[in-house]
Amino acid sequence: MVSQNNTSDITIRNPGESVAEFTPGLQFINRHFWYKRVSERRIRLGIDGFLWHLFVSAHKIITPEINTTLVEDQCFSWLQLEDGIIYLRTPVPGQIIQSNPLFLAHDVSDSHLYLTPAQDLWFVELESSERSTRLEYHPKDEYLTQTRLDLEKLNTLVQIPEDEKSLQLTRKFQLPKNELSKYLLEISDNHAYMC
């Protein structure tokens, strides 16, 4: 029989500071979420390398159907992991024009995700409302500083000894799902969580 503690834990990978990079052309909003304007009223939504590297393995990525109208804070994507599902809420309202064809495969591989440039890892393209055509975003220094602070919080949460921090890109950890969800909510301004 499997203990209750084992079923409530999830495996995560410590992303490490090397994934805290600012990709030109992406506008970072709500900390680890970004948008890229593809036309005057169309934007693509994605998450940064920090969040992608945090999850050990996303097996499947699900988005709502084309023409679905999203209101702010509504789920716009679900990442099916081996140990659970990550819910992503949209920081931007709009109508879904298309979903990323990279995610239409039945199974998604880690190597595929991590070798794809950040700007190609968008989830949905939205026809944005008047309000979202004037989105505020974080300047590079602010984004990088915040990402480093979020990494420090993660290191505290998983309690990495100082002498092992150089190994953190290859290290995997078990965290209770409720602790991971609380951490995700905090670092994403309540736009990512786990159930």
**Are 194 and 78 within 8 A, CB to CB?**
no
User: How many structural domains does the chain have?
Assistant: 1
Q: Cα(121)–Cα(128) distance, rounded to whole angstroms?
A: 19
How confident is the model at residue 78, as a pLDDT? 94
Mean pLDDT of all residues in 134-150? 85
| Residue in the block written with tokens 């931007």 | 92
Give the tens place of pLDDT for each residue, 152-169: 898 888 875 555 555 544
pLDDT single digits (tens) 64-97: 999 999 998 999 999 988 878 999 999 889 999 9
In the sheet with 75-81, reading across from the earlier edge strand, the strands are 58-62, 75-81, 85-89, 192-194
Confidence band (pLDDT; 50, 70, 90) for 112? Answer: low
Which CATH number fits the domain that encloses residue 32?
2.40.50.100
Residue 169 is predicted with a pLDDT of 47
Phi-psi category of residue 20: left, alpha or beta, with phi > 0 → left and psi -120 to 50 → alpha: beta
Write down the residue that tokens 């009223």 correspond to: 41
Q: Is the pLDDT of residue 123 over 60?
A: yes
What range does the domain containing 80 cover? 4-194
Quick one: pLDDT band at residue 7, thresholds 50, 70, 90?
A: very low
Measure Cα distances from 115 to 111, 163, 190 in Å: 6, 29, 28
Q: How confident is the model at residue 1 (pLDDT cuts 50, 70, 90)?
A: very low
Q: Is 89 helix (H, G, I), strand (E, B) or coil?
A: strand
